[in-house]
Amino acid sequence: MTTQPRYMANAFNGDESELEPDLQTLSRRRERVLAPSYRLFYRRPVAPVRAEGVWLFDAEGRRYLDAYNNVPAVGHSNPHVHRLVSKQLATINTHTRYLTASVIDYSERLLDLFPAPLTKVVYTCTGSEAVDLALRIARYETGQLGVICTSNAYHGTTAAAAEISPSLGPNNSIGPNVVLVEAPDLCREDPAEAGERFARRVRDAIAELAARGLGLAAMIVDSVMSSDGVQSRPGGLLAPAATVVRDAGGLWIADEVQSGFGRLGHGWWGFTQHYLEPDLVVLGKPMGNGIPIAAVVGTEQALDRFGRDIRYFNTFAGNPVSIAAATAVLDVIERDDLIDNARQTGEHLLAGLRRIAEHHPSMAHVRGSGLFIAAEFVTDPDSLQPDPAQASDIVNRLRERGVLISVSGPAENVLKIRPPLPFDPTHADHLLAAMDVVLA
Amino acid sequence: MTTQPRYMANAFNGDESELEPDLQTLSRRRERVLAPSYRLFYRRPVAPVRAEGVWLFDAEGRRYLDAYNNVPAVGHSNPHVHRLVSKQLATINTHTRYLTASVIDYSERLLDLFPAPLTKVVYTCTGSEAVDLALRIARYETGQLGVICTSNAYHGTTAAAAEISPSLGPNNSIGPNVVLVEAPDLCREDPAEAGERFARRVRDAIAELAARGLGLAAMIVDSVMSSDGVQSRPGGLLAPAATVVRDAGGLWIADEVQSGFGRLGHGWWGFTQHYLEPDLVVLGKPMGNGIPIAAVVGTEQALDRFGRDIRYFNTFAGNPVSIAAATAVLDVIERDDLIDNARQTGEHLLAGLRRIAEHHPSMAHVRGSGLFIAAEFVTDPDSLQPDPAQASDIVNRLRERGVLISVSGPAENVLKIRPPLPFDPTHADHLLAAMDVVLA
């Protein structure tokens, strides 16, 4: 029995006796060399050795349907990504202080996917770095320090990003310049009112900052509010809050690390579903299908003064190999109509889960957009008291049946279903069948 | 004529009329899409399209001897890196919440290269992220906020790393918890006394923190003090300062992003040359030969409490593809004796530059270790007044002769020579011959 992991939903509890002998050895070796910050998933961790499309395979040849991983957005081991990256790696891989056509080609192509005012890009290697940079830019541009985020937000792991990531747990301190607002709760609020109610909480947060003597630099929101339990609809949900923020002189930072690149099945970015145009957009996870690349996209106005006054050079960011991976991702999303697939498969999956929920009152609310879907579990349908134990149990029983998902939400009672984008209706049926058995 | 870049040595001045027509077009397109924080190198930027070993090639087939890039440590387009990365990319590339043998194998191998108390590793994607994490760890572990760094340090670009990076220029603010100390100046100080003098300045800095009501969390120093003008010798230079820091209860963070992985030609890490054992070590640039991977290595004590209390998960960090690149880098350094090559070629280069300096009194000081070498230029050898104009001129004239280096130091008057590690004595002779011509 090893150290108990803390403060993470769906973490391995350290009981190695449940593991097969080979994995016991591996887990013990791992524990000797990796710092205790590392946590494994599931009561019985998974040890995949090969992956393809939406499937993982372990050393015994068992296969797992991947309904969790959003980084390999165009599928595990995608051959087009492999081809472009391998070719580039054999050609050249320098940095952005030389002139490189492919970096410019990709930038033009990426920016064409954004509404007109968003015209410039800065590359980073991770979503955390992009969030950190977006905060630096917003603070420099507005001359203010105050930042607002949601009460169970996750925006990253740099010091500045962790300060706005309350979901990291009680020992992670929230910055003195940060005010948290409760995210919409679509299981318990009237969705038609949720947006206006949220905007009122944002107005209160601005007043709270002012009471601390702070002006508003920015509000940052994950457009699918993943760690707040996946709160993405109805359309326009975040628009009233964005107006409040803009009126107070703050920038709106759309964190599209989770919702970007077509996952929500309606256009490329989650913010379009909220009928708002951000000042800064943060991109990450799926951007290079696992090769580290992320970015801040912004209006000329937001990026201009910071860019002129402050040097920002990120050694690996936007290097030709990362750009090759990112180019391949756009190619495959377009070629295989993956946004349309996300919408269609997502609707199929939502409908299937709602049918299951009819027979299982503890599955109180099914929601989501495209291939980012949530199912919320409660102890009883009247009190709507969260039931994290049941959610965790389902996740682990699905894992035993070869289907990988995880949990989310402030109470960890929300199933989080977020597969690679080539997930099609037959994969959805496979998941639904497993869910039926597990709930029976 | 485009926007004038600011605050960066050896930056393109934006005069596109000096560029060939194709590059003019490319530069203008680049400027439309990349934020103004992006700067190109050289009066006439370089546009390489292919690279191999220590050579870059442009579209016209001109070749450039690369005596600058430390990221492709085992050589540009290294075939072994290409092989391992391509293979892994076709197999699986998930994250550290599954059990993955290759990540554990590499971690064991990496940690075997460190002295005994340094037993654990946390992966990140960039040196900036690793610095940021090391600061978070040091502050959490000590319960103190104060940090000391050198007065022209560069440690990265996250908000917390930029706060300890005065070399980023006057608009980048240094944190209120940060005290700067002048780095040793081996051109103007007696090297035999420089270490003790530096330690006295560190003692004053601790007193300055105390006067601000702050305790000492850590001192962080780049073991080769690259941006402070490359101050790496004599052996033991930083040891007295490390003792002062430890006695005050602070952690010593060795920033090995520049000096690590054998570049200094004596063992794997720069800190060994300083006869000190750090609490935390930050790794980066050469670690994956351009595939983003970086790390914090530390003592169990330093990493333990933070690791248990605070979740730290970095999506792409330590993924199997990055680990494949990092594995290939260790393979090639060992197989090709690149540390020994760095020492031998470095000594050859130092000797050659010192011969040149005998005939050029403005080249006042030649110094360095392994393949990290500096030549300092002054307006006259008595006053030792820095001559950045001459240094910049030499860099640009070398570029016109197909040899790439850059400048460094608080006064930007120090040539920085830092090639890929396969740089051999014939390459050094090529550089020396070009330097002879340029100085004539």
Interface of A with B in 4-63 (CB under 8 A): 6-8, 23, 26-27, 29-30, 32-41, 45-51, 56
pLDDT-derived band at A10, boundaries 50, 70, 90: confident
Side-chain half-sphere CA neighbours of B45 within 13 A = 31
Residue with tokens 């035993």: A400
Residue B66 CA to residue B55 CA, distance in Å, equals 5
At A202, which amino acid appears?
A: V
Interface of B with A in 129-148 (CB under 8 A): 129, 132-133, 135-136
In a domain? residue A21? no
* Structure confidence by residue, pLDDT tens digits, A54-76: 999 999 999 999 999 999 999 99
* Structure confidence by residue, pLDDT tens digits, B331-364: 999 999 999 999 999 999 999 999 999 999 999 9
B88 → chain A, closest CA residue: A77
Q: Which of A2, A18, A38 to mutate to test the interface with B (most CBs of B within 10 A)?
A: A38
In a domain? residue A7? no
In a domain? residue A39? no
A vs B: CB pairs below 8 A: 338
Q: What is the pLDDT of residue B4?
A: 39
In a domain? residue A139? yes
Average confidence (pLDDT) over A18-41: 91
Residue with tokens 């403060």: A7
Regarding whether B91 and B213 lie in a shared domain, the answer is yes
β-pair type (A294-299, A118-124): antiparallel
Residue A299 CA to residue A114 CA, distance in Å, equals 10
Q: Which residues pair with B415 in a beta bridge?
A: B375, B407
pLDDT-derived band at A8, boundaries 50, 70, 90: confident
Asked if A35 lies within 8 A of B121 by C-beta distance, the reply is yes
A300 → chain B, closest CA residue: B35
Last residue of a domain, one of B276, B302, B335: B335
Q: What is the pLDDT of residue B8?
A: 77
Regarding whether B289 and B268 lie in a shared domain, the answer is yes
Choose among B37, B49, B310: nearest Cβ to A312. Answer: B37
In a domain? residue B39? no
In a domain? residue B54? yes
Burial of A243 (0-12, 13-18, 19+ CB in 10 A): middle
Candidates A192, A189, A179; CA nearest to A146 is A179
**DSSP label at B424?**
-
**DSSP label at B230?**
-
- Angle at alpha carbon of residue A400, lines to A399 and A405, rounded to 5°: 10
Choose among B47, B82, B310: nearest Cβ to A90. Answer: B82
Asked if B307 lies within 8 A of A35 by C-beta distance, the reply is yes
pLDDT-derived band at A356, boundaries 50, 70, 90: very high
Residue A413 CA to residue A406 CA, distance in Å, equals 10
Regarding whether A190 and A106 lie in a shared domain, the answer is yes
Asked if B157 lies within 8 A of A133 by C-beta distance, the reply is yes
Asked if A125 lies within 8 A of B94 by C-beta distance, the reply is no
Regarding whether A278 and A342 lie in a shared domain, the answer is no
| CATH number for B375 | 3.90.1150.10
Last residue of a domain, one of A304, A335, A366: A335
Residue A100 CA to residue A95 CA, distance in Å, equals 9
Q: Where does A125-207 show beta strands of DSSP type E?
A: 146-150, 178-181
Interface of A with B in 151-210 (CB under 8 A): 157-160, 162, 168-169, 171-172
Question: Which residue range is the domain that position A387 belongs to?
Answer: 46-74+338-439
Question: Which region, left, alpha or beta, applies to residue A267 given φ > 0 means left and ψ of -120 to 50 means alpha?
Answer: left
Residue B118 CA to residue B105 CA, distance in Å, equals 17
Q: What is the pLDDT of residue A7?
A: 58
Q: What is the pLDDT of residue B3?
A: 39
Choose among A56, A285, A304: nearest Cβ to B315. Answer: A285
At A209, which amino acid appears?
A: L
Regarding whether A170 and A277 lie in a shared domain, the answer is yes
* Structure confidence by residue, pLDDT tens digits, A109-143: 999 999 999 999 999 999 999 999 999 999 999 99
Regarding whether A427 and A376 lie in a shared domain, the answer is yes
Asked if B108 lies within 8 A of A29 by C-beta distance, the reply is yes
Whether the per-residue pLDDT at A167 is higher than 60: the answer is yes
Asked if A311 lies within 8 A of B169 by C-beta distance, the reply is yes
Residue B160 CA to residue A250 CA, distance in Å, equals 22
Torsion of CA B269, A130, B97, A171, to 10 degrees: 90
Last residue of a domain, one of B335, B357, B389: B335
β-pair type (B363-369, B294-299): unpaired
Q: CA distances (Å), B356 to each of A371, B349, B366, in order?
A: 65, 11, 10
Candidates A232, A241, A150; CA nearest to A195 is A241
Interface of B with A in 87-106 (CB under 8 A): 89-101, 103-104
* Structure confidence by residue, pLDDT tens digits, B94-112: 999 999 999 999 999 999 9
Residues 6+ apart with CB under 8 A from B68: B404, B405, B406, B416, B417, B418, B419
Q: Which of A85, A310, A322 to mutate to test the interface with B (most CBs of B within 10 A)?
A: A310
Regarding whether A381 and A366 lie in a shared domain, the answer is yes
- Chain B hits for A316, CB-CB cut-off 8 Å, are 71, 125-126, 290-292
3-state secondary structure B273-296: HCCCCCCEEEECHHHHCCCCCEEE
Asked if A160 lies within 8 A of B158 by C-beta distance, the reply is yes
Regarding whether B143 and B52 lie in a shared domain, the answer is no
pLDDT-derived band at A3, boundaries 50, 70, 90: very low
- Chain A hits for B39, CB-CB cut-off 8 Å, are 97, 311, 313
Regarding whether B385 and B277 lie in a shared domain, the answer is no
B4 → chain A, closest CA residue: A308
Q: What is the pLDDT of residue A13?
A: 81
Regarding whether B171 and B316 lie in a shared domain, the answer is yes
Regarding whether A356 and A421 lie in a shared domain, the answer is yes
Q: What is the pLDDT of residue A9?
A: 80
Identify the H or E element spanning A137.
Answer: helix A127-142
pLDDT-derived band at A17, boundaries 50, 70, 90: confident
Identify the H or E element spanning B138.
Answer: helix B127-142
Measured from the Cβ of residue A316, the count of other Cβ atoms closer than 10 Å reads: 28
| CATH number for B198 | 3.40.640.10
**Both tokens assigned to B175:** 């944190």
In a domain? residue B33? no
Average pLDDT, chain A: 95
* Structure confidence by residue, pLDDT tens digits, A36-54: 888 899 999 999 999 999 9
Average confidence (pLDDT) over A404-409: 97
Q: Which of B30, B81, B158 to mutate to test the interface with A (most CBs of A within 10 A)?
A: B158
Domain count for chain B, please give it: 2
Q: What is the pLDDT of residue B13?
A: 81
Residue that wins the pLDDT comparison between A324 and A20: A324
| pLDDT more than 90, % of chain B | 92
Asked if B51 lies within 8 A of A8 by C-beta distance, the reply is no
**Both tokens assigned to A380:** 């009883």
Regarding whether A88 and A51 lie in a shared domain, the answer is no
pTM of the model: 0.97
B378 min Cα distance to partner chain A (Å): 26
Q: Does any CB of chain A come closer than 8 Å to the CB of residue B348? A: no
Each of the 440 residues of chain B gets a pLDDT tens digit; together they read 333 334 578 888 888 888 888 899 999 999 999 998 888 999 999 999 999 999 999 999 999 999 999 999 999 999 999 999 999 999 999 999 999 999 999 999 999 999 999 999 999 999 999 999 999 999 999 999 999 999 999 999 999 999 999 999 999 999 999 999 999 999 999 999 999 999 999 999 999 999 999 999 999 999 999 999 999 989 999 999 999 999 999 999 999 999 999 999 999 999 999 999 999 999 999 999 999 999 999 999 999 899 999 889 999 999 999 999 999 999 999 999 999 999 999 999 999 999 999 999 999 999 999 999 999 999 999 999 999 999 999 999 999 999 999 999 999 999 999 999 999 999 999 999 999 999 99
Q: Does any CB of chain A come closer than 8 Å to the CB of residue B314? A: yes
Worst-scoring range by mean pLDDT, A7-11, A160-164, A302-306? A7-11
| pLDDT more than 90, % of chain A | 92
Q: Which of A24, A64, A94, A99 to mutate to test the interface with B (most CBs of B within 10 A)?
A: A99
In a domain? residue A84? yes
